[in-house]
Structure 1
Amino acid sequence: MLTRVLLTLVKAGVIRPLGPRGLSGTVRGYLQWNITLAWGYQTGAGRHPDRAAIVDDDGVLTYRQVHERTDRLAHAFRAKERIGLLCRNHRGFIETLTACTKVGADAVLLNTGLSKTQLAQVAQDQEIDRFVADREFADALPDLPVVFSDELESLILNGPTTSLPRRPPRGRLIILTSGTTGTPKGARRPEPASLAPAAALLSRIPLRHGDVISITSPLFHAWGLAAFQLGLVLGATLVLRRKFDPTQTLKDAEKCTAMFVVPVMLQRMLETPHRPKLRIIASSGSSLPPRVATRTLEEFGPVLYNLYGSTEVSWASIATPEEMLADPGTAGQPPLGTRLAIVDDQGKPVAPGETGRIFVGNEMLFDGYTNGTSKESLNGLMSTGDLGYLKDGLLFVAGRDDEMIISGGENVYPREVEDLLSTLDGVTEVAVIGVPDDEFGQRLVAFVVGEETLTAEHIREHVKANLARFSVPRDVFFLDELPRNAAGKVLKRQLREQG
């Protein structure tokens, strides 16, 4: 295992010969900060000080500048202080998070789509001491101290240059769950103990040292955070924009080698005519509709990689372009060092092709929710909360285990109907949910975004021709758009209120 990790890191250029300055920066950074974001930027300042680290709406910062600026900013925070970070994608997010690691402050990454009521509840639940936030969210913030992101520059310029404590206490990194079906929970994320987690992702997604990476996924989301952390390991240049615009993103991509997206953003980009050359498009954060996968592979070439995972388990599997060309619905295979099991309700392995509960084991399983609960575990593996099956060694996700319905005594999976309808001409987006039914116990309802020529009967006939009769949605609603959170996930609780 260690040999494979080292070979993967060497192939990606993470491990390579270093000059005296680069070696010194790497060693001093490790002795000072351990393997943290702070170590990453000090290492970068030694290995490639003048390389662009961040390109955003405010300009360019080099690795040396980010390291020096976060040294100054770190003095504004205290060990074990809990910071609520409510920012869009820009340098302020990255510099605040890095500065927190330099003093051992906790950081709670907040979804920019939370309401005022939700923010107040999260602030209380997570015991936030103060906020670092973009000024646009000022009216939504609870009555706690706040530093607005446009004030960070003054803190940095006027910050002291005195030494920071060596090996500060490890601050907690807390990410909120998506909250698509209820109130968001705080998930405690572990700090990587080595570079093995990076090697796991690099074993299936062939990023390289020095890549220029556009991160369109929100940094507060587990996928955007992973892109940031992996990019730092690679000494990459990170291209960030406060707000997603498909035209601007594709223009940025002309100077990028890779892009991290969530599926809805990828779909928006497919609606524009520009097709820059990229070596890698990495997608995650929600299910990737097969039709979107197919179009991306056709129009951008064999560059699409799709990661299936969650806030709690980090990653479970990654699909390569070749695997999705063979079957665009697959979630691929587990990366290096990852174990995968499909089990029944008694925890026993199911036969290949049979649907069961998905359990995963890797080095980055979360440390539990901040309310003291956790995900179900089985023999060192953790539940993803999803159902799926294996076919020819590839994983296929059937949907959430709490979304499966029993209609007329039959197990019915909304995800299966969603994937089918996403391939229907004229359908742009679709979501399917289960609702109570007096006759059959439960039934499906479909919510469709698409061309005006579509009819409910057209939708039902397509499902009837391809799936079992219990999978046919009795009700079909046509919407201008699906309700989504800031990370692009469909808010099914809102749809359920309509259905």
Structure 2
Amino acid sequence: MAEVWVPPSIPAAVRVAAERFGTCEAVVDGPVRLSYRDLLEHVRIMARVFVARGVRPGDRVAVNAPNTHHWVVAALGAHYAGATLVPVNTRFTGTETVDLLRRSRARALVVAGDFLGADRLAAIRDAAGEAGLPELGTIIRVPLPGPLAPEPGVLDWGDLAAVAEDTPLAEAEARADAVGGDDISDILFTSGTTGRSKGVLSAHRQALGVAAAWAERGEVTAGDRYLVVNPFFHSFGYKAGILVCLLTGATMLPQAVFDAGDTLDLIERERVSVLPAAPTVFQTLLHHPGRQGRDLSSLRLAVTGAATVPVTLVERMSTDLGFRTVLTAYGLTEAVVATMCRPGDDLRTIAHSSGRSAAGFEVRIGDRGEVLLRGPNVMLGYLDDPEATAKAVDAGGWLHTGDVGTLDPDGNLTITDRLKDMYICGGFNVYPAEIEQALARLPGVRDVAVVGVPDERLGEVGKAFVVSDGDLTEDAVLAFCAERLANYKRPRSVEFVPELPRNASGKVLKRLLGKESEESTV
């Protein structure tokens, strides 16, 4: 696989991409088609706006918008101005967003005018209350879904070129020149599936380093057309998406909201070749009634990963969707990508593991089977939380991931579950992912999650939440498990649900399932 050259900073990467890839398409977003040279010019305008509005080197710029060309320009423009990017989860409520803006001390906010039927700026102001957000000096609105009525004190996207005139281009270039590899590039907040999210600090060299490693394993080139359905506020969409394209010259096609029909249209019309996504995306595409008869022959590379990726899914991604290469990978916000399969790995390795170490990481298995990581791309720490940082990264530099896994003799990592998801049934440790893998083989099971629920005799027992395509019954599910799993591993009850609750990154929110189970027993 060809080595991807890593520039010293993200602003340098934007410039190099314009030089290397010039008129090649950088971003295709509906009618908007930007070449790499166009992208550089838009980023420079954005940077000049931030400078004109008083954003200083090291200040934080928050972006709260869906996957569109606006997000790409805003994020890279913040970097170009020497600022630190703070992506905001678009599913956050106004209260959660205000908490993040205050904790990051954001000086500027780029926000969607209307997304998913919500006026995000109004929600933020309501949540901020009388205390407001005194450190937030600049608000820029993205015109989604369309033109916006003028609002005092708020810049609209169409105003940016005029505002940029207040800053000489040379000043923005000097800002970009001053950005170094060890400067903080971004603060990504964890998904917060078990509590309050934590801000993960990364440097420019780390953001680009993991993107380069990902691009090398996937053999991404300037000829690829990369559909980005993973949210840009997540490292999978931002670092393994935008930055990968920037380093390789691939064309990025952002999708604001995943819709299987629209995705199939894009693949066919734009000849998409690369599609990384959470397992649920591929499951949805496989079950979409409009998939038959589509020309999906352009698809080359799929990358997915989770605590559990059903073997049957990996198989069908090749046979039914036509991907020539399917890879699994493992990462987390604190490390982005730690292991990844390689093209040429056999199906068993791809289906049963997340591949070998990547991006300079060392991987080992610690106490209770916990996966530990060490290397140059482990996070710098958590924002304003030295206690949590010390708990996550020990004195030897090992990141304690909270994931349980095993390493085979070749160094391939298999994630078996999360430590927090493990429950104890009659004195035995039970890892739900093993049960979920087994149930994925049952015809009619489209999606499944298993959680531990209280039991007077055994302490905890398993409960399966099943999304079914067929006429499955609880008895059929339990009988299937009885044939394949030890008694202590078998779920004792089954609940059929229309869908599993997931966060925007595709992770199942098991705490919500567990809460529903507790309430149902009251």
TM bracket, shorter-chain basis:
0.7 to 0.9
For 2:217 and 2:42, how far apart are their aligned partners in 1? Answer: 34
The number of residues matched between the two structures is 462
Q: Is the 8 A contact 2:227 2:274 kept in 1?
A: yes
**Aligned with 2:430 (options 395, 405, 412):** 412
**Aligned with 2:477 (options 459, 480, 489):** 459
For 1:125 and 1:406, how far apart are their aligned partners in 2? Answer: 37
Change in CA separation of 1:388 and 1:298 when aligned onto 2, cut-off 3 Å:
same
Which residue in the other structure is 1:23 paired with?
none
For 2:309 and 2:199, how far apart are their aligned partners in 1? Answer: 25
Which residue in the other structure is 1:156 paired with?
161
Which residue in the other structure is 2:275 paired with?
259
Which residue in the other structure is 2:335 paired with?
313
Following superposition, the deviation at residue 53 of structure 1 comes to: 0.8
For 1:110 and 1:96, how far apart are their aligned partners in 2? Answer: 13
Code of the aligned partner of 1:208? T
Which residue in the other structure is 2:353 paired with?
330
Are 1:430 and 2:423 an aligned pair? no
Moved more, 360-369 or 398-407: 360-369
Equivalences for residues 478-493 of structure 1 within 5 A: 478-493=496-511
Which residue in the other structure is 2:258 paired with?
244
Q: Is the 8 A contact 1:119 1:140 kept in 2?
A: no
For 1:147 and 1:106, how far apart are their aligned partners in 2? Answer: 16
Moved more, 136-145 or 225-234: 136-145
Secondary structure of residue in 2 paired with 1:311: coil
When the two structures are superposed, what TM-score results if normalisation uses the length of structure 1?
Answer: 0.86
Moved more, 166-175 or 393-402: 166-175
Change in CA separation of 1:371 and 1:292 when aligned onto 2, cut-off 3 Å:
farther
Following superposition, the deviation at residue 94 of structure 1 comes to: 1.0
For 1:129 and 1:240, how far apart are their aligned partners in 2? Answer: 26
For 2:217 and 2:78, how far apart are their aligned partners in 1? Answer: 31
**Aligned with 1:380 (options 384, 397, 403):** 397
Following superposition, the deviation at residue 251 of structure 1 comes to: 2.7
**Aligned with 1:140 (options 112, 117, 123):** 123
Which residue in the other structure is 2:439 paired with?
421
Change in CA separation of 1:106 and 1:336 when aligned onto 2, cut-off 3 Å:
closer
Secondary structure of residue in 2 paired with 1:457: helix
For 1:411 and 1:435, how far apart are their aligned partners in 2? Answer: 14
Q: Is the 8 A contact 1:313 1:384 kept in 2?
A: no
**Aligned with 2:300 (options 255, 276, 279):** 279
Cα deviations by residue, 1:380-414 (Å, 9 ceiling, x for unpaired)? 33122111112342321110012111111101101
Following superposition, the deviation at residue 296 of structure 1 comes to: 0.5
Q: Is the 8 A contact 1:104 1:171 kept in 2?
A: no
**Aligned with 1:8 (options 2, 22, 46):** 2
Code of the aligned partner of 2:403? D
For 2:494 and 2:44, how far apart are their aligned partners in 1? Answer: 56
Code of the aligned partner of 1:139? A
Secondary structure of residue in 1 paired with 2:377: coil
Q: Is the 8 A contact 2:29 2:68 kept in 1?
A: yes
Structure 1: gaps (5+ residues): 1-6, 16-29, 346-355
For 2:221 and 2:339, how far apart are their aligned partners in 1? Answer: 20
Which residue in the other structure is 2:92 paired with?
114
Code of the aligned partner of 2:189? L
Code of the aligned partner of 2:204? E
**Aligned with 1:190 (options 183, 203, 209):** 203
For 2:246 and 2:444, how far apart are their aligned partners in 1? Answer: 41
Q: Is the 8 A contact 1:359 1:378 kept in 2?
A: no
For 1:219 and 1:110, how far apart are their aligned partners in 2? Answer: 9
**Aligned with 2:63 (options 80, 85, 96):** 85
Change in CA separation of 1:378 and 1:459 when aligned onto 2, cut-off 3 Å:
farther
Following superposition, the deviation at residue 44 of structure 1 comes to: 1.9
Which residue in the other structure is 2:33 paired with?
60
For 1:371 and 1:407, how far apart are their aligned partners in 2? Answer: 38
Moved more, 360-369 or 140-149: 140-149
Q: Is the 8 A contact 2:328 2:341 kept in 1?
A: yes
Cα deviations by residue, 1:436-459 (Å, 9 ceiling, x for unpaired)? 322212222211111351112222
Q: Is the 8 A contact 1:313 1:361 kept in 2?
A: no
Following superposition, the deviation at residue 343 of structure 1 comes to: 2.2
**Aligned with 1:289 (options 294, 300, 310):** 310
For 2:254 and 2:18, how far apart are their aligned partners in 1? Answer: 20
Secondary structure of residue in 1 paired with 2:16: helix
Identity of aligned residues (%): 28
Change in CA separation of 1:156 and 1:293 when aligned onto 2, cut-off 3 Å:
farther
Secondary structure of residue in 2 paired with 1:8: coil
Code of the aligned partner of 2:440? S
Which residue in the other structure is 2:366 paired with?
343
Which residue in the other structure is 2:381 paired with?
368
When the two structures are superposed, what TM-score results if normalisation uses the length of structure 2?
Answer: 0.83
Q: What's the C-alpha RMSD, in Å, of the aligned pairs?
A: 2.3
